[in-house]
Structure 1
């Protein structure tokens, strides 16, 4: 796993001073060097439910980490290390995971953390059918061996299970709070901070105070945390420039907007890839898409580098593959598998019997209208006539997973290999609504799932298979841009997370 550094917009302390205080200065702890006492983060959207069984991933995971510990913790480079679990190992079948637990932890309501608590949480997560229910697809049961040991039984091997135990499925809440049904509005965990109900306002801000006697003070770096809901990009820009927040995410245009404010940019940090997923690979809705030459022609027809400059102002990396550099499936030779070559695209279309092109309908929501329009123009140049059909935002993903469209545009995470496979590639994957597969692919997936010595090589072959067969039309990996005041705050990137883990923030030294 490669270490990844964060691409951040470091807003000058001088600008924050113009607003009347340094970041965190309103807490009376600013002082020379801009140190901050309360961490204030501007986030996109509030947490819909504080029940960890409803937790999400990516940028939406960090809020849960404020109040909940997980069984395992991911280091910034993705390495898994102990947290509430001290040790873990599989049996030879890789279907029973034995986990040793800390015996010195309590939840903030006084309930002890122990093996029974782990069982209660995993069973609750499995039964709640939350946003990340897929994480426990292979989960069968938890057996309490003793107070600080559990055995987690799986239906079949899951190479991502340890990863999931550092994510939503591994978040541990008080069993008493689970039983009481109060977690949706009032989180109760064993984490570094405690929810401040009196000062929190739904859809506005969530306030947390440092928990006294927290078992790992090295992870508790602030006296409090404030998560401020700033859905509008302009609100986040104004908040970071005025010092109302210490950290927030931006986009390419807003980064350019604040460059005049002495924006500093440091090395690349990429979370998502963006482009078109070609779903109808058997040609059920659009017969032309059933021919691999047509799908390859679409890839050759698109000028990725130009679109990267026009749509993302160069903040990203053009690519022909959907697996990122932090994945074991990544293959460097596939980066430019489909160079821009409209003549080649026309040749392939003619060979497939579509010299006059064909008609293709793409669903569109506002967030991707510019991208779809740009792709439609370039596909049109080789004879592929794209019709854009506007879809209500809330219905977009539902329509996709129900197989109502032959292709769609979206930003999708470059995550752990098996997680990405189950999102994009496997016959039961979320974004494989037509259940596309083949004996060759199934054999490769079985090798990846086994976790054996050849799993990484098989994962790369999976990547080659879907890329050569043009299952997708990737455009580029998107640079994640975030802003913070470096005189007040130190931030480490977290691989595959737009907003880093809460443990990666610290007052500047």
Structure 2
């Protein structure tokens, strides 16, 4: 992976300390982790949860494969795996002695039942399994996945929600939010309103290595209230925005952070006539002053860029931000609108959630688009309603953060830029992209994958992208001194189970 200097953006504090503490709640040497989070999870069912819910869904469900922060894959419910030479067959060896929380035994039949169900009834990850032809039970501990095309991205896919295995007894339950049925290290105590509580499950297959007795999560939509709850001692840790880091440190709090594989951006539904016109999309790209917007809202905590990948990611295409199509140029934007037949502008609605920063960003975009003659109406929405509308394609434009490398860079491209993708409700389809993407998904050579992704992103930029990136962010968790092992997962994979908290 290529590393590039990002100046102040790379000055990220990774305050990871060793486990410690004694004489805590429950007499087991640790206290429960109390954490202030930013939004009510859309669901705790891996089939219907939003991508950012994985941190909490992963407390209840193990995945077949685990992904380390460096991007390498480690054993999960599968202890070994091997691809065939043509990458069209994946053999998995499953962990022995694992049970679901409802008492059902975990085995190859359970894996087959889950994957078959995902293909039969659409889930949020079914499109990631589009080349899965069939699943064979070899024996109780071995399963074979047969693919219609080379499956290079499949390990990443199985390390996410698609690999979170549900008890076969519960697969017919339409929503498992209040009745989870996984093999994960925690059970759900409650999910009521803005409060979620989890307790360590003593039947977990690796219970001896889970130090945390439980978690209590509280949602604070207001960002200042979230940090205030931490400063007052109401919680032990919190999720904050980059522009709050200085305040957190000045209050004596420790801060852990990492550049995360996501970006702030605006999805345009190309089913709307104006957004179907490439020159309109190009005009809107050039109407956004990314450096000013990012600096104003985040300081150095969000790197302004016209592409969805962060600059130290192999998928980042050098030179894109210097191309004319990526530059802030409102005069050129107005000219493009006129050439597209919209010299007098048009109007559209931006949906976003109600959190302060999102609304502020939408307001800035509203002003910048107004400068080229486009009128924007803003519609802040409660998070579950917002996520549902986005998932169903019920929007003209939607502003949020989007993951660009989870479960795999190729899956991001398929989901956002290919016809039929979950976040491409208008059916945007640029000739040549599907063929280039096939090179990404069938090639294990990093240089070949990189070249194909760079060509895709450059072509989409020049065409007028249906997704307008703004900046790639750094995510921060401030915490009190008694919290140990709390880290930000760059790929948003579950990692809270190994935190410890000193007695209060």
Could you say which TM-score interval applies, normalised by the shorter chain? 0.7 to 0.9
Does the CA contact (< 8 Å) of 1:75 and 1:81 recur in 2? Answer: yes
For 1:196-243, what per-residue CA distance to the aligned partner results, in whole angstroms no more than 9, with x for missing partners? 65xx4634332312526733744x122x11232324335533432233
TM-score by length of 2: 0.80
2:439 maps to 1:477: no
Partners of 2:385 and 2:111 lie apart in 1 by 35
Paired residue for 1:163?
156
Paired residue for 2:214?
225
> Where in structure 2 are the equivalents of 1:194-343 lying within 5 Å?
195=187, 197=189, 200=190, 202-203=192-193, 204-211=195-202, 214-215=205-206, 217-218=208-209, 220-222=210-212, 224-233=213-222, 234-252=224-242, 254-255=244-245, 257-265=247-255, 268-280=258-270, 285-286=273-274, 290-292=277-279, 294-325=280-311, 327-337=313-323, 338-343=326-331
Partners of 1:190 and 1:74 lie apart in 2 by 17
Question: Unaligned stretches of 5+ in structure 2?
Answer: 4-8
Paired residue for 1:417?
409
Partners of 1:244 and 1:25 lie apart in 2 by 20
1:164 is displaced (CA, Å) by 1.8
Paired residue for 1:16?
none
1:7 is displaced (CA, Å) by 5.3
1:307 is displaced (CA, Å) by 1.0
Identify if the C-alpha distance between structure 1 residues 168 and 140 changes in structure 2 by more than 3 Å, giving closer, same or farther: same
Paired residue for 1:374?
364
2:61 maps to 1:68: yes
Partners of 1:166 and 1:301 lie apart in 2 by 38
**Paired residue total:** 481
1:73 is displaced (CA, Å) by 0.4
2:123 maps to 1:136: no
* RMSD of equivalent CA atoms: 3.9
Identify if the C-alpha distance between structure 1 residues 346 and 188 changes in structure 2 by more than 3 Å, giving closer, same or farther: closer
Does the CA contact (< 8 Å) of 2:238 and 2:477 recur in 1? Answer: yes
Of structures 1 and 2, the larger Rg is shown by 1
SS in 2 for 1:61: helix
Partners of 1:24 and 1:429 lie apart in 2 by 50
1:85 is displaced (CA, Å) by 0.9
Identify if the C-alpha distance between structure 1 residues 459 and 210 changes in structure 2 by more than 3 Å, giving closer, same or farther: same
